[in-house]
Every structure is written in C-alpha cells, then in structure tokens.
Amino acid sequence: MNPTVRLVTVDADYAGQRIDNFLMRELKGVPKSRIYNLLRRGEVRLNKSRVKPDQKLAFGDVVRVPPVRVAVREGVVVPGGLDSSLRSAILYEDDGLIIINKPSGLAVHGGSGISLGLIEALRQMYPDQRSLELVHRLDRDTSGCVMVAKKRSVLKQLHELLKARKGVDKRYLALVAGKWPVRKQQVNAPLQKNVLNSGERMVRVELDGKKSLTEFTLIKRVAGASLIEAKPITGRTHQIRVHCQYAGYPILGDDKYGDDGANAHFKQLGLKRLFLHAHSLSFTLDGRRVDVKAPLPSELEKILDSAGSEL
C-alpha cells in the first residue's frame, strides 16, 4: 500500500455528513472538482467499496483517503495586520464555537477570484482546529457577527436552530434612504435568485420565489435617512437589502439594490461602504444562553453624526 494513503475512521461528530463534504475537510486546499474526480475514479473508498459523492457517512465507517499533492498558492498567507485584527474581533469563544465581528470588505470564504476569506484565514490562524466551519454567511460588504463552529456537533446543532427560524435571534442595523414609517414593522415578500448575463447574482421579489420575512423597527431618523433594526425570520440571500429596496427605502451604500442619488449624497458625507451591520446574536446552546453584540463600527457612527438630526 502506498504509505501516504490514509484510512480514516468516521467518529460520531461526522456521522450523517456527506462524503464529498468530509473529503473537503480532510483534503483542505484541494479543488472541489479534483475531489469529485477522485470519487468518480474510485480512488476514494468507503468500507473498501466505491462510493458516490452524496453518500452519507455512519459512525465507524472507514474512508480510504488517497494521496493528493496540494499545490501551495503564493500570496494566501494571512497578513499580520489581518491576523491581529481578527484576533481582536473575537466577541465570544468556547470549546465549540467562535463568534467574530467580521469587518466590511472581507468575504466569509474564498472563491470567485478571492483567495483568502474569513474561514481560510481562521484555519491558518488556528491550525490545531481541524474542524472549523462557517455556521452561516454574511455578504462581503456587511460587517458584524459571524458564527464559526469548532466541532461538527456544534455545527449541526446551530444549523438545526437556524432551520427552526426562531432558534437564533439575529439583528442587523441599517441606514436606509428616506423616512421609514413607524408602522412599517415587517416585509413579507417572496424572493427569487437570478443570475444576469454578466454572471452577477441578483435577487428579486417574485411571486413564485421562496417565502421570505423580515421584521423591522425604526430606531431614529437623521437628515435624509432612517436608522432601522432588521430581524430576518427567514435566511435568504440578500434578504434585508432586497426587502428594504422593495419597501421603498433602500440601504445606503448599496451599489446593487440602492438608490444612486441617495448613495452619492451620503458618499459626500464619507460613506464608503454598505451601511448594514449584523449587531447581535442570541440563542441557547446545550442549555447555555449566548447573547453577543457587535458595536456599530466607528466609520458608520461617524456617518450618523455627519448626517445630523432630521430637519
């Protein structure tokens, strides 16, 4: 036997996981297409038999992981500045979970020309944590609370809580154009993903889309805009951004769903990013209550000050 072939026994933490996802963890850095090629060619074996990518693993299964040389890409080392800023951005940590205050402009994962995202950076920063996985996602331009599981069991529990809709209370702060009405407390509008010819992903309100619900609370008004709190009940792509646009009060700094005129005005006041921030998370995990808040970034606080009181 080739000495670099590994036989990995599936422990209870990974029971129920698809083998393609299991291999992506075992063969970090190997392209997804290469992993599917290994499965097709029968180089990966489950209990000595060929296996399909969607096969779910059971406790005690033995997976033959073939030797694969991983090309080390240059320029994918975590810069020292990012390393220190991410360490200082940790809001909560225990044996199974990290909650981090993600900065705007950092993607949660690599891909589409991005070599280093939050999860890749954390995996390099914590090489002993072999099971780090994103629990959920934030848009690249959105800042705030992101959960990263250290254990497969914690990942599964949190996914169940997120599916339950009311299991995880997520709240966002957004500055929107115009005077958000006090009585506007929810937007219930189905959302459909669309891909444009350019490859850019857009989301639109469409009758045959997926049910989507966001609850809103007006916090205060400033000149030309309103600071609101958004609580997504469902978790669709770009949900808060599209629901604000649909309501007629697009989020400022949004170059995809925003208002050009309002964006230009607030750009003059110094707004250089999407004014959307995931500011709190609350849930119960293993009998423990977790309540985490990420303060509004200073550059967004300055915009509120610059805008001044409502006229």
Q: Could you say which of 11, 13, 128, 139 is catalytic?
A: 139
**141/82 Cα distance (integer angstroms):** 16
- 207 — phi, psi (to 5°)? -60, -35
Beta carbons of 156 and 147 less than 8 angstroms apart = no
Here the tokens at position 86 are: 């991410």
**Which 8-state DSSP code applies to residue 103?**
P
Tell me how many degrees the CA angle 259-201-147 measures, rounded to the nearest 5: 95
Query: How would you label 28-58 residue by residue, b for 16+ Cβ within 10 Å and e otherwise?
Result: eebeeeebeebbeeeebbbeeeebeeebebe
Known catalytic membership, residue 139: yes
Q: Is the dihedral of CA 225, 108, 76, 36 positive or negative?
A: negative
- Tell me the catalytic residues: 139
